[in-house]
Structure 1
Amino acid sequence: MDVGALDADDYESVHRASRGLAARYGMLTLNAALEAWEACVQDAEDGFDAELVWEYENELRCRHWLAAAWPVLTERVRAARQAELDALDARYRLATVPLPGQGDDAPWHSRRPRLIG
């Protein structure tokens, strides 16, 4: 799909996702959620400090937000950002290992950082 310039409907879908998810996740924008996911991925790649690993679950909230927001976004917005999200998800999979006995309902949630110091 040729994304081209985003229009008012595209931007409104981003605002609708932000407003709709604010009660559950706090007010986030699509850009902020993707930046937070990138930071979380980087933390997983660098390795988590065992004393702070309890924060890991909280850091995953941005990926939960993205999963919940994605269906609300227009196809053009998703197409414009899908490659970025896919690349971050791939990096995350490389930096983490699956947790035994976990389901796959939220693949990022059923994994832990490979490096914990």
Structure 2
Amino acid sequence: MDMEALSADDYESVHRASRGLAARYGMVTLNAMMEAWEALVEDTEEGFDAAELIWEYADRLRCRCWIAEAWPVFTDRIRAARQAELDALDARFQLATVPLNGQPDDARWHSRRPWLIEGKALLELPRS
């Protein structure tokens, strides 16, 4: 993202989103949440241990929920600067996951789970 092209309004939109969501997510930044989403996508592609899946995966999805809630608050310029990156991460996540039972195949991140799971849960959570 070309930071020099951003205006004070652009930066303020990011700060406004961060402040508005701080009660639920803590005070975080767009860059931090995008990095957290990328890390979760990478981990999802590599696979989860069954124990990690239960305790860690759902909590880590909060970064993508934050992005979704913050996105409308950002200026058009911020969204345009980050859209391709977000779309690419979302596409990778889609490929590394399967829908939860009863969800459509195009379900969003909160309705999907990793398809690569090691341990006992592999038998309980078939890959569609």
Shorter chain as denominator, the TM-score bin is over 0.9
Q: Distance in 1 between matches of 2:80 and 2:22?
A: 23
Corresponding residue SS for 1:97: strand
Aligned-residue offset at 1:103: 6.7
CA distance in structure 1 between the aligned counterparts of 2:103 and 2:17, rounded to whole angstroms: 28
State whether structure 2 residue 17 is matched by structure 1 residue 17: yes
Q: Which has the larger radius of gyration?
A: 2
What displacement does 1:102 show?
A: 3.2
Alignment-derived partner of residue 46 in structure 2: 46
> What is the alpha-carbon root mean square deviation over aligned residues?
1.7
In structure 1, the residue matched to 2:34 is 34
CA deviation string 1:45-97 (max 9, x = no partner): 00001111121100100000000000000000000000000000000000001
1:89 maps onto 2:90 in alignment: yes
CA distance in 2 between counterparts of 1:10 and 1:79 reads 11
Residue 53 of structure 1: SS of its match in structure 2? helix
Structure 1 alignment gaps of length 5 or more: none
Which residue matches 1:69?
A: 70
AA matched with 2:44 = A
- Which structure is higher in RCO with an 8 Å CA cutoff and minimum separation 6? 1
* Runs of 4+ with >6 A deviation: none
- Partner SS, residue 117 of structure 2: coil
Please state which structure has a larger fraction of its residues in helix: 2
Normalised by the size of structure 2, how large is the TM-score?
0.84
User: What's 1:116 paired with?
Assistant: 117
